[in-house]
Amino acid sequence: MSQLSQKHLLGIKNITREDIELIFETARSFKEVINRPIKKVPSLRDITIANVFFENSTRTRLSFELAEKRLSADVVNFSSSTSSVKKGETLLDTVNNILAMKVDMVVMRHSSPGAPHFLAKHINANIVNAGDGTHEHPTQALLDTYSIMEKHGSLEGLKVAIIGDILHSRVAISNIFALQKLGAEVMVCGPNTLLPKFIGALGVKMELDVRKALRWCDVANVLRIQLERQQIKYFPSLREYSLYYGINKKMLDELDKEITIMHPGPINRGVELNSDVADSEHSIILEQVQNGVAVRMAVLYLLAGGKD
Amino acid sequence: MQKKLILDTHLLNITVNRLCQQLIENHGDFSDTAIIGMQPRGIYLAEMIHRKLESDINRKIDLGYLDTTFYRDDFRRRDTPVKANTTKVPFIIEDRNVVLIDDVLYTGRSVRAALDAMIAFGRPQKVELLVLVNRKYTRHLPIEPDYVGKDVNTMDTQKVLVELEAQGFKDNKIWLINKESE
């Protein structure tokens, strides 16, 4: 099989294990490409991609833009803060206007869960979800699982703990789906207030004690505390969170085992991760960033391929 | 389905030996020349030739694998995207001679893509093309091989099938097949 089962990448939930494996296989080839002296291939030279970001992003947007440019696609960028959305235009109108200029693919980030799904029903172009509210962030999950696979060989039977703000995290949801599809065991860990009520229904273990979670897992994916999404206080103070859930080198040394530390960025140094962990040999944070470009190239390449 | 055997193990060895001799004639000790096999199937022939050349001239020769998937001109014209293979060119090709190797030369489009792909690794002094089977009169582009294992006259309804031991087949056999008329 050399084709994805979907026309869009809206979430990990609706793609298959075979899709994920195909993306990984293709990403491996692109990783070789981006490590060449000339990092560019002409595959998407007749394609125009719009990066439509209704929500702030640095890393994801940069990563997508690089991926698009290394595939030779034409790229237009759009951010809501400088656009007509401020003047009251609807999402569908905005995107239709962009598509009227002959754009083939849309990479979209939006603060409302389901926004890309809505769009997929109404427009013809391929859509890649670059994060929709607290719902899914599929390419982040793909690059996370790809990075784990690169380090551990396979995810089958691997124990992965997702630690931190699960409630507000689209990265967590997408990661849970991806990890489970690839055969890993998943645990979520965080203060009670930041664990969604029904997360157990997804078949994941729940843990309140971060030390126990670290003892259990082979890989810890530490998430950022998303202060911008918290309208009410979920814990007394950052200092207290860091005291109970912050991970430092001493905790890892006490474990006396191989453990991989990941973080989707941006890190709040000294809150969820101490600098001595973020910069340690356990951390694969910068590999994640590099793999992000390769994985996104693979997604765009596979979605754009095939006849219209 | 009609099948005609055009090369077997015995003939293939003779052909590979001859190709190696021709290469040595033109490239001497290969100090300025690298060999690049084209993915997915040209690499087996490239490995055979590379092995033979190294034992003949008793010297290490650079061997690389080149995947042309991302450089093809039929992307979005096929029903599904082509799956990529490994590219491994662990040497500099700037100002060197390159012998590009593939199993069958048909339309010439993969060779065009390979030339494009190769430029990403530098500007070679000279590029030559070696193919095991040259299908004549089927070219879509002005591309001709410098070294040919065997020339065959074929029609569009025919196909050349290469089975090599290195690919896991029992014997080396190269067939000319008449595609079933639909």
Using CA coordinates, name the residue in chain A closest to B68.
Answer: A41
Q: Which of A301, A304, A307 sits opposite B79 (nearest CB)?
A: A307
**A12 assigned to some structural domain:** no
The span from the first CA to the last CA of chain A, in angstroms, equals: 18
CA dist., res. B70 & res. B76, Å (int): 12
Domain carrying residue A99: 17-136+289-304
Cβ contacts (< 8 Å) between B117 and chain A: which residues?
41
A2–B82 C-beta distance less than 8 A: yes
The total of other beta-carbon atoms located within 10 Å of residue A38's CB is 11
**A142 assigned to some structural domain:** yes
- Identify the pLDDT of residue A83: 66
Whether A111 has a pLDDT exceeding 70, the answer reads yes
Q: What are the pLDDT digits (tens) for A68-81?
A: 999 999 999 988 77
CA dist., res. A76 & res. A49, Å (int): 6
* Better-predicted residue by pLDDT, B170 or A307: B170
Four-residue CA torsion sign, A231, A237, A241, A244: negative
- Averaged pLDDT for residues A208-230: 89
Regarding whether A280 and A147 lie in a shared domain, the answer is yes
Angular region, A88: left φ>0, alpha ψ -120 to 50, beta rest: left
Q: How confident is the model at residue A306 (pLDDT cuts 50, 70, 90)?
A: low
**φ/ψ (deg, to 5) at A160:** -120, 125
**φ/ψ (deg, to 5) at B79:** -70, -35
CATH number of the CATH domain containing A176:
3.40.50.1370
Pairing state of beta strands A105-110 and B147-153? unpaired
- Identify the pLDDT of residue A92: 87
Cβ contacts (< 8 Å) between A73 and chain B: which residues?
none
**A128 assigned to some structural domain:** yes
Reading the block at residue A210, the tokens are 């971060």
DSSP A205-228: EEES-HHHHHHH-SEEEEPPP-GG
| % of chain B beyond a pLDDT of 70 | 97
By C-alpha distance, which of A285, A281, A255, A289 is closest to A272?
Answer: A285
Regarding whether A87 and A171 lie in a shared domain, the answer is no
Regarding whether A197 and A162 lie in a shared domain, the answer is yes
Regarding whether A116 and A190 lie in a shared domain, the answer is no
Q: Tell me, yes or no, if A126 comes closer than 8 A to chain B by beta carbon.
A: no
β-sheet with A48-53: strand ranges across: A74-79, A48-53, A105-110, A126-132
Pairing state of beta strands A185-189 and A260-262? unpaired
- Identify the pLDDT of residue A307: 56
- Identify the pLDDT of residue B70: 87
- Identify the pLDDT of residue B93: 87
**φ/ψ (deg, to 5) at B135:** -85, 115
**A1 assigned to some structural domain:** no
Number of domains in chain A: 2
In a 13 Å sphere around the CA of A18, the CA atoms on its Cβ side amount to 6
**A277 assigned to some structural domain:** yes
CA dist., res. B93 & res. B91, Å (int): 6
Cβ contacts (< 8 Å) between A25 and chain B: which residues?
83-84
Helices assigned H by DSSP within B28-150: 42-57, 109-119
Regarding whether A294 and A242 lie in a shared domain, the answer is no
| % of chain A beyond a pLDDT of 90 | 65
Regarding whether A163 and A29 lie in a shared domain, the answer is no
CA dist., res. A188 & res. B166, Å (int): 48
Q: What are the pLDDT digits (tens) for B152-177?
A: 988 888 888 888 888 888 888 888 88
State yes or no: A45 annotated in a binding site. no
By C-alpha distance, which of A242, A241, A277, A274 is closest to A260?
Answer: A277
Q: Report which residue type is found at A123.
A: I
Using CA coordinates, name the residue in chain B closest to A4.
Answer: B80
Regarding whether A276 and A221 lie in a shared domain, the answer is yes
Regarding whether A160 and A55 lie in a shared domain, the answer is no
* Better-predicted residue by pLDDT, A308 or A256: A256
> Looking at CA atoms only, how far is residue B123 from chain A in angstroms?
12
Regarding whether A142 and A30 lie in a shared domain, the answer is no
> Looking at CA atoms only, how far is residue B17 from chain A in angstroms?
33
Whether A139 has a pLDDT exceeding 50, the answer reads yes
B85–A29 C-beta distance less than 8 A: yes
B86–A41 C-beta distance less than 8 A: no
Let me know: does A51 contact A76? Beta carbons within 8 Å. yes
CA dist., res. A11 & res. B2, Å (int): 48
- Identify the pLDDT of residue A230: 65
Regarding whether A271 and A173 lie in a shared domain, the answer is yes
- Identify the pLDDT of residue A2: 74
B85–A25 C-beta distance less than 8 A: no
- Identify the pLDDT of residue A208: 94
Write out residues 31-60 of A within 8 Å (CB-CB) of B. 32-33, 36-38, 40-44, 46-47
Q: Which of A29-38, A95-104, A200-209, B89-98 has the highest mean pLDDT?
A: A200-209
Regarding whether A113 and A209 lie in a shared domain, the answer is no
Regarding whether A88 and A220 lie in a shared domain, the answer is no
Let me know: does A137 contact A13? Beta carbons within 8 Å. no
Helices assigned H by DSSP within chain A: 17-34, 59-70, 91-100, 115-122, 138-152, 170-181, 210-216, 238-245, 249-255, 275-278, 285-304
The residues with which B162 forms a beta bridge, in sequence order, are B174
Whether A308 has a pLDDT exceeding 60, the answer reads no
Q: How confident is the model at residue A38 (pLDDT cuts 50, 70, 90)?
A: confident
**A57 assigned to some structural domain:** yes
Q: Tell me, yes or no, if B74 comes closer than 8 A to chain A by beta carbon.
A: no
Q: Which of A2, A40, A47 sits opposite B83 (nearest CB)?
A: A2
State yes or no: A224 annotated in a binding site. yes
Using CA coordinates, name the residue in chain A closest to B81.
Answer: A305
**A9 assigned to some structural domain:** no
Cβ contacts (< 8 Å) between A33 and chain B: which residues?
70, 87
Q: How confident is the model at residue B55 (pLDDT cuts 50, 70, 90)?
A: very high
B76–A29 C-beta distance less than 8 A: no
B116–A42 C-beta distance less than 8 A: yes
> Looking at CA atoms only, how far is residue B124 from chain A in angstroms?
15
Write out residues 83-142 of B within 8 Å (CB-CB) of A. 83-88, 116-117, 119-122
Q: Which of B67, B76, B85 sits opposite A307 (nearest CB)?
A: B76
Q: Report which residue type is found at A213.
A: A
B121–A26 C-beta distance less than 8 A: no
- Averaged pLDDT for residues B61-67: 93
Q: How confident is the model at residue B182 (pLDDT cuts 50, 70, 90)?
A: very low
Q: How confident is the model at residue A91 (pLDDT cuts 50, 70, 90)?
A: confident
Whether A302 has a pLDDT exceeding 50, the answer reads yes
Domains of chain B, with CATH numbers?
3-69+85-178 (3.40.50.2020)
**A167 assigned to some structural domain:** yes
- Identify the pLDDT of residue A84: 64
Cβ contacts (< 8 Å) between A301 and chain B: which residues?
70, 81
Q: Which residue has the tokens 């490994």?
A: B86
